Amino acid sequence: MSLIEIRKRSLTIETIYHEGGPAPATPLRIAAACAVVRNPYAGRYEPDLLPFMAELRSLGTLLATELVETLGKDNVEVYSKAAIVGVDGELEHAAVWHEAGGWAMRAVLGEPKAIVPAAKAVAATGYRLMVPLHNIHACYVRSHYNSVEIGIQDAPRPKEILYALVMGTGGRIHSRLGGLTQENISVHDGQR
């Protein structure tokens, strides 16, 4: 029997045309794919979360594939992951997403090197979470530091978990603060 029981999913796409300055040649698109699942461990302590983490890889692949289909694999420059656990769960039920969601995005995107940033919380239904974003190949690309809000109005319920993956097509629209640029990534160690 599967540990993953999806109640609902959402796909949100934000398109940014400008931030008060000149419009770029191509608008920035940031997409968040969310899934609300039953928490199989709500209300009790489970010492072994590894089977749940392993099974969540399939959910991660589903969400990552949806994002790549939405934005185009070659267009993705930033990514992140997030989880919101309903109040009958614990933060460790969100932490399983670090491996499962991160692994799935790396597999679908062709093994980018940069760490996948994350945010997680235990919270009441309707909670919104700000999720950090950065470049998929080098985390020191300053122009690509950004954030996006995720959440679903009726989730997570107390015995649920909302898992999210986020991808975007570039850095901030009017970034102009110097530092390493996407074009100058050279070390390919996930940092520079």
* Confidence at 38, pLDDT banded by 50, 70, 90: very high
Enter the tokens of residue 72.
Answer: 């185009």
CA neighbor of 9 nearest in space, from 155, 166, 132: 155
Cα–Cα distance measured from residue 60 to residue 83, given in angstroms and rounded to the nearest whole number: 12
Cα–Cα distance measured from residue 90 to residue 94, given in angstroms and rounded to the nearest whole number: 7
Cα–Cα distance measured from residue 169 to residue 166, given in angstroms and rounded to the nearest whole number: 11
* Confidence at 183, pLDDT banded by 50, 70, 90: confident
What confidence score (pLDDT) does residue 105 get? 96
Q: What is the mean pLDDT of residues 95-121?
A: 96
CA neighbor of 144 nearest in space, from 123, 173, 166, 106: 173
Give tens-digit pLDDT for 139-160: 999 999 999 999 999 999 999 9
Domains of the chain in sequence order: 6-184 (3.30.1330.110)
Percent of the chain with pLDDT over 70: 100
What confidence score (pLDDT) does residue 190 get? 80
What single-letter amino acid sits at 166? Answer: V
* Confidence at 114, pLDDT banded by 50, 70, 90: very high
What confidence score (pLDDT) does residue 122 get? 98
Q: What is the mean pLDDT of residues 94-101?
A: 97
127-143 residues labelled b (16+ CB within 10 A) or e (exposed): bebebebbbbbbbbbbb
Give tens-digit pLDDT for 39-92: 999 999 999 999 999 999 999 999 999 999 999 999 999 999 999 999 999 999
Q: What is the mean pLDDT of residues 122-131?
A: 98
* Confidence at 186, pLDDT banded by 50, 70, 90: confident
CA dist list (Å): 73 to 4, 96, 109: 26, 25, 6
